[in-house]
Amino acid sequence: MASKSAKTAQDILMADFQALVRDTEKLLADTANLAGDQADELREQIHERLVQARETLQLTQDSVRQRGQAALGGAEQYVQDNPWQAIGIAAGVGLLIGLLAKR
């Protein structure tokens, strides 16, 4: 459940960041008809920052994915090594959720 909510949060963050990049690219395209050296310099700076942002986003996405897979693998290994403890923990969590839901 926690990994599902983390994945959902990650997906929302990625979608928001990609929307930001798309909006910035659109702004860059809309300023294409501006003239002058300053406008050209501004467009170049925006383009460079977009490239950097995309690279950072890709690195962050890869890092988060690797950590998530490592955490999932660790949890699966724990459950395989300690099945009765995992069942006890799951039962305890279920009991707490049931008590909270009953209120």
Q: What is the pLDDT at residue 102?
A: 86
Q: Select from 30, 21, 26 the least CA-distant residue to 50.
A: 21
Nearest C-alpha neighbor of 32 from the set 46, 19, 53, 20 = 46
Tell me the per-residue pLDDT of 58-86, one tens digit each, with 9 for 90 and over: 887 888 888 888 888 888 888 888 889 88
23-35 pLDDT, tens digit per residue, is 777 777 777 776 6
Total residues found in the chain within this entry: 103
* Confidence at residue 83, expressed as pLDDT on a 0 to 100 scale: 86
Residue 91 has pLDDT above 80, yes or no: yes
What torsion do the CA atoms of 91, 93, 98, 101 make, to the nearest 10 degrees?
-170
pLDDT above 60: residue 40: yes
pTM of the complete model: 0.46
More confident residue, 47 or 6: 47
* Alpha helices, H only, the chain: 2-30, 37-81, 83-102
Distance CA 7, CA 100 (A): 25
